[in-house]
């Protein structure tokens, strides 16, 4: 799983070649935190 600070069109274009082989979903931290059952998102900077 890859969680980005923000998702833009360039990110979407970058993963399109992968999406034919594996499921791909680009989500940002606030979306991850709002998903039921996802647990608390760690928003600390790496």
Per-domain residue ranges of the chain: 3-33
Q: Which helix (H) or strand (E) holds 3?
A: strand 3-4
pLDDT at 2: 65
pLDDT class of 46 with cuts at 50, 70, 90? low
pLDDT digits (tens, 9 = 90+) for 20-29: 777 877 888 8
**Other beta carbons within 10 Å of 24:** 14
pTM of the shown model = 0.45
Distance in angstroms (rounded) separating the CA atoms of residues 15 and 20: 10
pLDDT digits (tens, 9 = 90+) for 6-39: 788 888 888 888 777 778 778 888 888 888 875 5
């Amino acid at each position: 799983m890859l969680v980005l600070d923000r998702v833009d069109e360039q990110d979407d274009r970058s993963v399109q070649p992968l999406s034919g082989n594996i499921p791909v979903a680009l989500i940002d931290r606030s979306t991850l935190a709002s998903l039921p059952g996802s647990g608390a998102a760690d928003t600390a900077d790496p």
